[in-house]
């Protein structure tokens, strides 16, 4: 089997609502996602997705596509290595890794289709059902909107929910505590509340805020400080009882090695759309396992569902309401969770995803 073509598609819905967290200064209207399709001489096609939008599409088409045409798509490790070194001068983190991630996911979707199995079975099944948490709690929500969303997740059977803190770059401390208190009062004592500061605090501020959050029985404190401040993350993790979760803004296994070895994470959060796709996500999850740390992937939920089912040290999978809204529009269908648990479709090979052709025609470019 040989790769004959690679195509990128960006699907943007201008009517979908924007999001805002601690460090998003200027939210944009609408939401979009870029996709990669890999075609072969045997009629099989792989579908991938990643971060970076149209900027990543340029890297994919100009730099990665030429080295993939004619290659055997089953050589995923070799192709990942080729892509890594092709983009060495562009940047080994950020946009370059977003481009590699999208292509790598498409290659693994294609590989699983070749062997006619769901991706999680190809990777080595640990389970076929994983727990999820309802994620949102955006800082631009009013307290009533915040409570309604979080209660809505609980009413769908999710045992854990996540909300944002660090509002206004950490300048609204009193409001952070009041919003958390409102959610705790609304969801009751049995629901786990996770909080995410999106890099919004400084280290000593995060430590002080964690002590104010503790009475509300917080399950983890996500990105309490700037993701690149490993010393700050380690200081927070050492000083508080709430577990520190981080990793969504780390882009390589080498970066995760430093983050974990220096004590910056109690819960490791690789993002498959940023860390290098399936190939590298699995390596990071295994590295975390070697340090006896749990993994809780960030975003890209329809892909993480599969790798999560092959991860013995999984804690929980993020389920974003805004992503669900997008996914229901862009895919012909996808498996939906029930009672706080989620399973891949065991009858569909690969990721089991297909873009809606009518949506591609109307909103794609």
Instruction: Look up 298 and say whether it is catalytic.
Output: yes
Q: Which residues are paired to 350 by β-bridges?
A: 118
User: Which residue, 9, 12, 17, is CA-closest to 39?
Assistant: 9
**Residues 6 or more apart in contact with residue 215 via CB below 8 angstroms:** none
| Number of CB atoms found within 10 A of residue 170's CB | 22
Question: Is 2 assigned a catalytic role?
Answer: no
Q: Among 342, 265, 358, 281, which Cα is nearest to 97's?
A: 281
Nearest to 132 by CA among 302, 350, 3: 302
Residue 274 · residue 97 · CB < 8 Å: yes
Catalytic residue (choose from 111, 298, 304, 348): 298
Strand arrangement, sheet containing 3-13: 3-13, 31-40, 45-50
Residue from 246, 154, 173, 249 nearest 213 by CA: 173
Alpha-helical runs (H) found in the chain: 53-59, 65-68, 76-86, 95-114, 119-123, 143-155, 167-170, 173-187, 203-213, 230-239, 253-261, 277-290, 301-308, 321-330, 357-363
Q: How many CB atoms lie within 10 A of CB 261?
A: 12
CB contact at 8 A, 46 and 106: yes
The neighbour count for residue 326, using CB atoms within 10 Å, is 18
**Category of 119 on φ-ψ map: left (φ > 0), alpha (ψ -120 to 50) or beta:** alpha
Please pick, among 111, 162, 164, 249, the residue that the annotation labels catalytic.
164
Residues in a beta bridge with 7: 37
Provide the annotated active-site residues.
Answer: 164, 298
């Amino acid at each position: 089997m040989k790769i004959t073509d690679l195509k990128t598609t960006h699907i943007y819905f201008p009517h979908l609502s924007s999001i805002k967290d601690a460090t998003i200064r200027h939210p944009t209207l609408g939401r979009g996602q870029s996709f990669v399709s890999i075609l072969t001489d045997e009629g099989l096609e792989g579908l991938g997705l990643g971060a970076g939008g149209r900027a990543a599409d340029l890297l994919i088409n100009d730099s990665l596509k030429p080295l993939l045409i004619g290659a055997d798509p089953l050589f995923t490790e070799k192709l990942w290595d080729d892509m890594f070194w092709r983009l060495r001068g562009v940047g080994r983190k950020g946009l370059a890794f977003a481009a590699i991630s999208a292509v790598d996911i498409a290659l693994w979707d294609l590989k699983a289709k070749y062997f006619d199995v769901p991706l999680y079975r190809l990777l080595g099944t640990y389970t076929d059902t994983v727990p999820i948490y309802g994620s949102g709690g955006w800082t631009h929500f009013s307290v009533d909107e915040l409570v309604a969303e979080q209660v809505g997740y609980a009413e769908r059977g999710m045992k854990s929910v996540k909300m944002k803190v660090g509002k206004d770059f950490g300048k609204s401390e009193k409001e952070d505590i009041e919003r958390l208190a409102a959610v705790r009062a609304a969801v009751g004592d049995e629901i786990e509340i996770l909080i995410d500061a999106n890099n919004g605090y400084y280290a000593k501020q995060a430590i002080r805020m964690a002590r104010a959050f503790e009475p509300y029985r917080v399950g983890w404190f996500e990105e309490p400080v700037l993701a690149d401040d490993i010393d700050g993350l380690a200081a927070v993790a050492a000083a508080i009882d709430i577990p520190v979760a981080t990793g969504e803004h780390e882009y390589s296994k080498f970066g995760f090695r430093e983050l974990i070895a220096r004590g910056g994470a109690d819960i490791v959060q690789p993002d498959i759309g940023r860390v290098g796709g399936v190939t590298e996500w699995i390596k990071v999850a295994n590295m975390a396992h070697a340090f006896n740390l749990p993994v809780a992937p960030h975003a890209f939920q329809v892909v993480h569902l599969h790798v999560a089912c092959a991860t013995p040290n999984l804690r929980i999978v993020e389920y974003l309401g805004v992503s669900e809204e997008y996914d229901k529009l862009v895919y012909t269908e996808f498996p939906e969770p029930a009672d706080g648990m989620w399973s891949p479709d065991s009858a569909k090979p690969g990721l089991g995803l297909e873009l809606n052709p009518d949506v591609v025609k109307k909103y794609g470019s």
